[in-house]
Structure 1
Amino acid sequence: MLRFSLDQYLRDHGLTAYRLVKETEGKVARGSIFAMARGDSVKRIDLENLNHVMAALSALTGERVSPADLFTGEPDPVSLRQSAADVAYTDDEETNDVLDDHPDILERLKAHRERREQL
């Protein structure tokens, strides 16, 4: 799971949320900085605020800060919706309808091919 980890970045660099609030004063709301610094409560990030935070952190640390520095973990794997035939849906709605209406269609087609090959 991907996590915004400003709190960890601040700890690793000996900074506080309060110091970041002072550095971003007039650009990012105080409450937003403290919410971001809590980390686990962040569900959405405003890109403009993220840009200001990264610029402020770069100024405070003397290092270039990228978005990757402020996130930990991995995104959840992509899970494609499955049809009733237990295969991923296609881009074709008619095919999707057949897969849903006839969940055994793929096994039936396989059996049909095998019978044809035996002839």
Structure 2
Amino acid sequence: MRDQAKLTLARDLRRNETIAEKRLWEQLRNRQLEGFKFVRQTPLGPYIADFVCREKKLIVEVDGATHSTEAELARDAARTSQLNALGYEVIRFDNDEVLNGLDQVLTLILQSLRP
């Protein structure tokens, strides 16, 4: 995907975020999570990551129901592998985890951010 196309898609994804993404972003934005800076819907390599803490090289992905099929799980695994190759750790949560257990999700994110 060309850079301009990725930027346009990232902008569209920010405008059309899911409820789970919106709730998580409310907790991550403006360095609210212990001062760590996150950006959302950010192009990285051939992908657009949901949330990225560049300082700690951490990507947080929020997956919807479509990510439960075998094909999507395989695609997610390949994506994670490629992002790992770029030096990023990737952690994934599904929408239900974010919507019904946000405190636990934030705790797990913090555990990944701390040395």
TM-score (norm 2): 0.28
Over alpha carbons, which structure has the higher Rg? 1
TM-score (norm 1): 0.27
